[in-house]
Amino acid sequence: MQDPTTQYNGDETGFQLDPRNGKVLAPRNVNVYSEAGGGTKEQLTVLITTKADGKVMPPATVYPYKRAVPKDSVDKVPEDFLVANRIQDG
């Protein structure tokens, strides 16, 4: 417990893929998003982990896919980010 290189703290935040809000700040007459049919509650999760010695681990982007994350999605993530998919029960 005295070694700060072995103590970690993680925090996550979720971004709704279908927020259902209806109000978006954007330039007029510009389509900035499209609404998914059916009102899904899926979200994209980003996990940030830090160590007690002050170092920050690479951010992890966690996708809600049951199988592998599509290559076109992985290609859009910055190189220093980690990419994962959430394991879903049953």
- Our CA angle for 25, 27, 33, nearest 5°, is 65
Task: Write down the pLDDT at residue 22.
Answer: 61
Task: Write down the pLDDT at residue 25.
Answer: 74
10-25 tens-digit pLDDT: 999 988 776 666 666 7
C-alpha to C-alpha distance for 38 and 17, rounded to whole angstroms = 12
pTM of the predicted structure, to 2 decimals: 0.61
C-alpha to C-alpha distance for 1 and 77, rounded to whole angstroms = 34
What sign does the CA torsion over 71, 77, 82, 86 have? negative
Task: Write down the pLDDT at residue 21.
Answer: 60
| Residue segments in the chain with a per-residue pLDDT below the cut of 70 | 18-24, 33-41, 87-90
C-alpha to C-alpha distance for 18 and 41, rounded to whole angstroms = 7
